[in-house]
Structure 1
Amino acid sequence: MKDLVSVIVPAYNVSLYIGECIYSVKQQTYKNWELIVIDDGSTDHTFEIAQRCAKGDEKIRVHRQENQGVSVARNKGMELAQGQWVVFLDGDDYWTPELLAKLVAEKQTSGADVAYCGYNHAYSNGFVRRYRYKYPNGDLLLPFFRGKVRLQIGAMLITKALLIERNIAFTPGCLTGQDWEVIAKLTAVANFSVVPENLHMYRVRPNSAITSKWNWKKRIHTLFAYRRAAEFVLQERREAPDLPKIRTVLDKSVAFKFYKFLWRTIKAKAYDDALALMDNAEYKQLLDHIDENNLALIDRLKFYTVLSRNKWCWRCARLF
């Protein structure tokens, strides 16, 4: 449907936050939207609260499914979406009232495949950490993989047809990094335009993705996501004149991610697991792509500590 925005909200055990999330959509100054809440088998009152919020509002649909993970929930929302454009808002996050209006206006003016904005971190105690980012336009593939631009899945208005045509979806069973994977794939095929304001609020709460205790067996899914995204990019850009440059940037990006993954695993005192990963032939070669001369001093020290394979040195990791 022309100019209709489908807001897809996956929700699992976020009863404390889902009301504010839905309210922030209902308060948007842009009114041509539909809201699809996918309750992923919550065991608290998330579903009931979402139903109460939707009561009497035909623009809101609440769908319930057995717990299958956030990727399946988001993909189900895509299946149900009727809009020309889609945006994925997590059930514990929220927007400022003008987010949709400004993203839609930017998309209509620029004709870009994706319009995006910046985001802040909102903490449970009410504190909001306001960030200042660079806001580039156009082809964001290399800036994204180099870490020069920050993109958040809840702050992106995406042409739905592009996702369908390029077969871009969230990977079922991927425990971490599934949103990053989708964003990375989009940078390979989409043109981006920006609203240089922080209009999305990413909630930092206990046991959230960025505050929960490190579990390498779960977090390694982020590395899997990186590698899937890199393979997708190389396929989509296979005829690009700068393909060798793209390949080098991707190799360095995945390698840096693996080094950071090893560092966190060592800090969690999973020394034998870290050694096993470093001895795995599939992963061992990744570290060869790290250019330590271009690392910041602190990262260079951490990298050399990882390479030492010395458990005594590794015990000092907690000091960093």
Structure 2
Amino acid sequence: MITSIKIIVPTLNTYLILPKLINSLKIQTWKDWKLLFIDGDSTKKHFNWIETSCLSDSRINVIKQEKNHKGIYGAMNQGFKTIKDNELVLFWGSDDWAISPSTFGDIISEVNSYKNKYDLLICRGKYIDFKTQGIIRKSYFLENKFLLSLDRKKFRKSLFLGMIPPHQATFFNANAFEKLSSFSENLQLASDLDYFLKFSCIDNISILVLNKELVNMSTNGISSQKNILRLKEVFYCYKNVFGICFFVPYILRYIRRILTRLFNEV
């Protein structure tokens, strides 16, 4: 049974946009959450703000990013190591926030009603324009109206068809950490894709896809500002796993992105 949710947030001088994230957690009807900031080399003003937030709520903590872990994915790896049994982990950016006050409660209630213990729990999210706060597009892995349970073969096939879980809307548990314990720190933007592709190569994995909206994701992040680098890294990830067939998921991924922008959903 899942008893806790831990949200891991890498930060670097982002204290001005953190209140929305924190407030979206504090109003959750399900109270057993923890927020862990992994802070890079931020200014004293930023770190003091974080520490004040920690003092105001015992569920909020901060640790300094270790020098042997580089970049955003390095911070995520450092946080990943803190996962405990019966705990689910989310990786959010500073400008992400929970969709509604009942978000966690609804999801945990459903997950705990199943006997199987899944490695990944994939939900849905929305991309929000940072300036206008309007919905750019919805993001989900599969077009399921109800829950779907996937084994390795089905998960890998979905990835080959250009589908990719939104990592901010994906819960990781201790089983996932034991099977694949880190994100590549050699990639700046697409290490989440790399993780899912490598995870699909592991035997005896189990994934649950829920038709539940979890997180609002702002387009103000670094990954939305470096499109050329992202294209190169996505190319590398697909080629590394699918070899000469890399062009199939690569092309389908972006066709799907174009169509979803046109119809305002993924």
Query: Aligned-residue CA RMSD in angstroms?
Result: 3.2
Residue in structure 1 matched with residue 167 of structure 2 by the alignment: 153
Q: CA shift at 1:258, angstroms?
A: 6.4
The counterpart of 1:255, out of the listed 224, 244, 247, is: 247
Tell me which residue corresponds to 2:110.
106
Residues 253 and 122 of structure 1: is their aligned pair in 2 closer, same or farther, counting only changes over 3 Å? farther
Q: Distance in 2 between matches of 1:209 and 1:66?
A: 22
CA distance in 1, matches of 2:71, 2:46: 15
Q: 1:221 aligns to what?
A: 233
Indicate how the Cα distance of structure 1 residues 198 and 5 shifts in structure 2: closer, same or farther if over 3 A, else same: closer
Structure (1 or 2) with the greater strand fraction = 2
Measured after TM superposition, the shift of residue 204 of structure 1 is 0.7
Query: Greater share of helix residues, 1 or 2?
Result: 1
| Deviation of 1:65 (Å) | 2.6
Change beyond 3 A, Cα 1:143–1:192: same
SS at match of 1:22: helix
State the shift of 1:45 in Å: 4.7
Q: State the match for 1:175 in structure 2.
A: 188
Unaligned runs of 5+ in 2: 259-266
Task: Select 1:90's aligned residue among 90, 93, 102.
Answer: 93
Change (3 A) 1:38 1:213: closer
Give the letter aligned to residue 186 of structure 1: F
After superposition, the Cα gap between the structure-2 partners of 1:6 and 1:129, relative to the gap in structure 1 and judged at 3 Å, is same
Aligned AA (1:220): K
Question: Secondary structure at the residue paired with 2:124?
Answer: strand
Query: What TM-score, normalized by structure 1, do the two folds share?
Result: 0.64
- The answer to whether 1:121 aligns with 2:127 is yes
| Equivalent residue number for residue 137 of structure 1 | 148
Q: Name the SS for the 1:222 alignment partner.
A: helix
Does the 8 Å contact 1:155/1:199 carry over to 2? yes
SS at match of 1:16: helix
Partner of 1:71: 73
SS, match of residue 35 in structure 2: strand
Answer yes or no: is the 8 Å Cα contact 1:103–1:116 preserved in 2. no
Residue type of the alignment partner of 1:69: G
Q: What is the SS of the residue equivalent to 2:149?
A: coil
- Secondary structure at 1:121 match in 2: strand
Unaligned 5+ runs, structure 1: 231-249, 264-294, 299-320
Distance 1:172 1:132, change over 3 A: closer
Alpha carbons of structure 1 residues 132 and 258: separation in structure 2 relative to 1, 3 Å = closer
Q: Give how far 1:93 is off.
A: 0.9
TM-score w.r.t. length of structure 2? 0.76
1:1-320 equivalent positions in 2, closer than 5 A: 3-43=3-43, 45-65=45-65, 68-82=70-84, 84-96=87-99, 97-110=101-114, 111=116, 112-124=118-130, 125-131=132-138, 134-135=143-144, 137-139=148-150, 140-147=155-162, 149-164=163-178, 166-189=179-202, 190-205=205-220, 208-210=222-224, 212-216=225-229, 220-228=232-240, 230=241, 250-251=242-243, 254-256=246-248
Separation of aligned partners in 1, 2:212 and 2:239 = 31
- Considering Cα pairs closer than 8 Å and 6+ residues apart, tell me whether 1 or 2 has the greater RCO: 2
Task: Summarize the Cα distance change of 1:64–1:256 in structure 2 as closer, same or farther, 3 Å threshold.
Answer: same
SS of 1:194's equivalent in the other structure is: strand
* 3-state SS of paired residue (1:223): helix
Are residues 86 and 58 of structure 1, via their aligned partners in 2, closer, same or farther at CA, if it must alter by over 3 Å? same
Task: Please report how far the alpha carbon of residue 227 of structure 1 lies from its aligned counterpart in structure 2 after TM superposition.
Answer: 4.2
Identity of aligned residues (%): 21
Letter aligned with residue 97 of structure 2:
Y
Secondary structure of residue in 1 paired with 2:209: strand
CA contact (8 A) 1:116 1:192 kept: yes
8 Å Cα contact 1:8-1:88 kept in structure 2: yes
**Rg larger for:** 1
Looking at structure 2, the residues matched to 224 and 158 of structure 1 have their Cα atoms a distance apart, in angstroms, of 24
